[in-house]
Structure 1
Amino acid sequence: MTVTVDAQTELDRTRFFIDGEWVEPRGTDTHRAIEAATGEPLGTAAMGTDADVDAAVGAARNALDNGPWGDTTPAERAEVMRRFAERLAARGESTARLVSRENGMPITLSNPFNGAAPAGLLQMYADLITTTALEEVRPSQMGSTIVRREPVGVVGGITPWNYPQVLAMMKIAPAMAAGCTVVLKPSPETALDSYVMGDAASEAGVPPGVLNIVLAGREAGSALVSHPGVDKIAFTGSTEAGRVIGAECGRLIRRVTLELGGKSAALFLDDGDVQTFMTGLAGTTFMNNSQTCTTQARILVARSRYEEVVEALAEYTRNLVVGDPLDERTQIGPMASERQLTRVLGYIDVGRDSGARLVSGGGRPKDLDRGWFVEPTVFADVDNSDRLAREEVFGPVLAVMPFDTDDQAVAIANDSNYGLGGSVFTADEERGIGIARRIRTGTIGVNYYALDLGAPFGGMKDSGLGRELGPEALNSYLEYKSIYASADRL
């Protein structure tokens, strides 16, 4: 029988999870977590220093090189991961609520992404590693070659605040399955929920040093990226930060996966169904209050259907339920922080100044006098050269623009520095798939957009390097080795 466990009996987190234990920080800095819906204090968390990062990397290195983890078989790792999954699943409901309080994610979204998905990913990669051949023998000119895949080593995982649990596990699960150890540096904006993983790992008997968690800001994060004991960095965050991390990993000749920003396009063709499009907006455009890297905030509409779709968007956004993220009726919660609210309101001003037509929203909801709420906002007649069409807002602000032909729609969609998500809405699926093939983006849906945990996820252009999820993610935590041997091995 599954026993539900509260994710945290007290919200203060003043120690770090290093080498299987809760240890005191080396420094004295703390971060005060604020509840997104109220603006009230939620808890306090210690902030790590270079010394804390160094201790965590040392523990991870020791577990790999000298501890039991480096000698485990895939089956043994899978067993540990399944126990870890069970303990996370037992906390799923309360973890989801905690994340929603931290970053404003509607609870109906937080339950699957922060409550269920992390345990599901552990189970998925536990199953995958036990059915993956990590060694094969090939004939060669001199005899045979044993081709092995071995763990890349110590992984530094750096994660953002928008989907904190699932994005962390998208790194932890394949890394553990491959036989790596992990140092996780979560974002201060979701300072509290990351340590739920430490609680669950400790209860599950994950060996010391396999998973280490140190909350820290940019300076200590830089120390993790540059640490000589780290073999790979897996980062999700802004393109600006990704450039810095990628440059440093290039200098160090260190493996890196970068899942970065986006400014994706949703294409509504001349034969599209408006109701299908409106239904799909929850996943394409407004998921997690549009604080999602795949948000399709550029809405490209066939000119013959343009005003019809603009009016439908205005009506749809006016009727969205904006409010308490813990209320299951809520469709749009608050922005994750006051800083994020200021950013989104600033882009609404950019839209006004550009001369675009404001058709709905444009400010703070009048009936919500606390917390970091913003009205879902739609601008029509946006030019693809405008800042509102070029830059990632990371909030519910849409830029709608017309096109005349399929070729023009593809050209506008591809006229972006980013390439992460996208969608095509049409009555003719073959036509939609044909257009999808022409758009330079890592993921794209036809008549819907929904992340598939079993398929590779990542971006092109400024949206990143490498892929997460699916069997492809496992490969990014493995190194190839060729052992030249005799023909007797065949």
Structure 2
Amino acid sequence: MNPNAVELAYPDQLFIGGAWVPPQTSASIEIVSPSDETLVGRVAEARQADVDRAVAAARRAFDEGPWPRMTGPERAAVLRRIGQRVGERADQFARAWAVQVGMPYAYAAATAPFSKGYFDYFAGLAEQGFEELRTPAQGGACVVVREPVGVTAAIVPWNAPLATTLLKVAPALAAGCTVVVKPSPETPLEALLLAECAADAGLPDGVLSVLPADREVSEYLVRRPEIDKVSFTGSTAAGRHIGAICASRMVRYTAELGGKSAAIVLDDAKIETIVAGILPNLISLTGQQCAAFSRILVSRRRQAEVTEALAAAFRDIKVGDAFDAQTQMGPLVSSRQRDRVCGYIAKGAEQGARLVTGGGRPAHLPKGWFVEPTLFEGANDMTIAREEIFGPVGVVIAYDDEEQAIAIANDSDYGLSGAVFTEDVERAYAVGRRIRTGNFAMNGRVIDFTLPYGGFKQSGVGREGGVEGLHGFTEVKTICLPRPPGHLGG
């Protein structure tokens, strides 16, 4: 067994309705380290019968249990306790990310303690209440209230499993929903650790279930008639399929999907700012993130300078085992993902893109699912500039003027993220307003769960994070009365 394996209290059981119970079958999921291809652990695998149990428990807890009927402050107290437990176990969460996905442990350990803040933030929103008094034109009073949407299916991807789980579970619980979490089979550990924290914090029975399982179980969960809301993060292809299922019976859903984000480099940008803003975004998580700046738009005047500076920085990246303190970029999550990325690299060469640096396996890493940071020069009509690669592969694309740069940035099926590199704040804002994307920044990328996050076009539907993320787990009800109720000043 890998020495960095994360121990679970109940690895052979599922968390259903607030209790650890044996699965309906003996099926299990093997977790393999992408750094050295060794067995990390094994957990119970959920099947359809387990989904039935979890959904039934969530339905009872929502329809009959105390959780949706508690006040916001009462729910907030429980959320803060969960957050406290999550914070106390931050190192376990960090190790889980490193050993399952290959995220360098040093980075994972630095960011994991912030996970407690998700629960504190949404607890604070719950404490503010969900009622707003308005005066209609006809007189009298109307109370606009937000009520929990109901039983929620939270389907989580493998690339950043803790953050994406918390962006669904924390606001859903704050709103008063009950939640069935379906983590990816590549990364079940975080959701199971979270279940241990929730149980220890006294979350009422039935409110949370965790079902590690394959993609077929995800679809079965989404199709269950008891589900009122689906929150999905993953590929655009899977998002379209889930969206069609939800639309067939008008189930509410949020989908945070793929991206092919553009970083627009204006001529006044400093070279050190460009490298410092683009490089971490493109190689973090080995490029396995939907908001990666995989299209780098540079004026022809500065194309050679910027390309060589980025290439030099790529060559200096220390690629290695996730638990090596010197590692800056780890492996891809699986052999299948490595083959996918290598296929795109080959496609870029076939279509005439110029390989500037990278493109192969690091020579010093004979085991593990590694690929070098890779940079091409090419055109926006090439496959490597159109499709989401989900690996550390960027393409430099030349433009003639700012208008053309904006047109190229918007010439994409996606619209998730993006950036402009410049020294002029006013110019950055003006460019940002013209880019058809849900998230945009100057000289880099801002990640903050208190802000709404999501995409235009095929990058998704709805938003996660911030007040908007909480509202996604509510329904709006308008109650009109002759006068305000007493507790609202009547």
TM range (shorter): over 0.9
1:303-318 residue pairs with structure 2 within 5 A?
A: 303-318=300-315
Contact 1:284 1:422 in 2 (8 A): no
Distance in 1 of aligned mates of 2:100 and 2:374: 23
Asked whether 1:186 is paired with 2:183, we answer: yes
Distance in 1 of aligned mates of 2:146 and 2:358: 53
Q: Which residue, out of 482, 485, 488, partners 1:486? A: 482
Distance in 2 of aligned mates of 1:139 and 1:485: 10
% of aligned pairs identical?
Answer: 45
AA aligned to 1:91 is: R
How far off is 1:284 after superposition?
2.8
The aligned residue for residue 360 of structure 1 is 357
- Which stretch shows the higher mean deviation, 412-421 or 443-452? 443-452
Contact 1:145 1:482 in 2 (8 A): yes
1:180-259 residue pairs with structure 2 within 5 A?
A: 180-259=177-256
Distance 1:337 1:224, change over 3 A: same
How far off is 1:281 after superposition?
2.3
AA aligned to 2:56 is: G
1:321-400 residue pairs with structure 2 within 5 A?
A: 321-380=318-377, 382-400=378-396
Contact 2:182 2:211 in 1 (8 A): yes
* Partner secondary structure for residue 27 of structure 1: coil
Distance in 1 of aligned mates of 2:78 and 2:169: 13
Distance in 1 of aligned mates of 2:15 and 2:104: 28
Contact 1:261 1:418 in 2 (8 A): yes
Contact 2:314 2:374 in 1 (8 A): yes
How far off is 1:177 after superposition?
0.6
How far off is 1:144 after superposition?
2.6
Distance in 2 of aligned mates of 1:411 and 1:109: 35
Distance in 2 of aligned mates of 1:185 and 1:112: 26
Contact 1:137 1:146 in 2 (8 A): yes
How far off is 1:112 after superposition?
4.6
AA aligned to 1:146 is: V
How far off is 1:307 after superposition?
0.2
Asked whether 1:40 is paired with 2:38, we answer: yes
AA aligned to 1:462 is: Q
1:26-425 residue pairs with structure 2 within 5 A?
A: 26-113=24-111, 115-139=112-136, 141=138, 143-380=140-377, 382-425=378-421
Contact 1:384 1:401 in 2 (8 A): yes
Distance in 2 of aligned mates of 1:192 and 1:480: 35
- How many residues align? The count is 483
TM-score (norm 2): 0.96
How far off is 1:146 after superposition?
2.3
Distance in 1 of aligned mates of 2:9 and 2:353: 44
Distance 1:68 1:355, change over 3 A: same
AA aligned to 2:343 is: G
Distance in 2 of aligned mates of 1:110 and 1:457: 21
TM-score (norm 1): 0.96
Distance 1:488 1:367, change over 3 A: closer
Distance 1:202 1:487, change over 3 A: closer
Contact 2:279 2:314 in 1 (8 A): no
Distance in 1 of aligned mates of 2:253 and 2:380: 32
Distance in 2 of aligned mates of 1:224 and 1:218: 10
Contact 1:338 1:372 in 2 (8 A): yes
Distance in 2 of aligned mates of 1:106 and 1:450: 20
AA aligned to 2:81 is: R
Listed as ranges, the gaps of 5+ residues in structure 1 are: 1-5
Distance 1:288 1:11, change over 3 A: farther
Distance in 2 of aligned mates of 1:99 and 1:311: 32
Cα deviation, 1:207-248, whole Å, max 9, x if unaligned, reads 111111001111111111111111000000000000000011
Contact 1:12 1:43 in 2 (8 A): no
Distance in 1 of aligned mates of 2:129 and 2:430: 33
Contact 1:117 1:166 in 2 (8 A): no
How far off is 1:446 after superposition?
0.6
Distance in 1 of aligned mates of 2:446 and 2:175: 27
AA aligned to 1:74 is: G
Distance in 2 of aligned mates of 1:161 and 1:419: 21
Contact 1:414 1:440 in 2 (8 A): yes
Listed as ranges, the gaps of 5+ residues in structure 2 are: none
How far off is 1:142 after superposition?
6.2
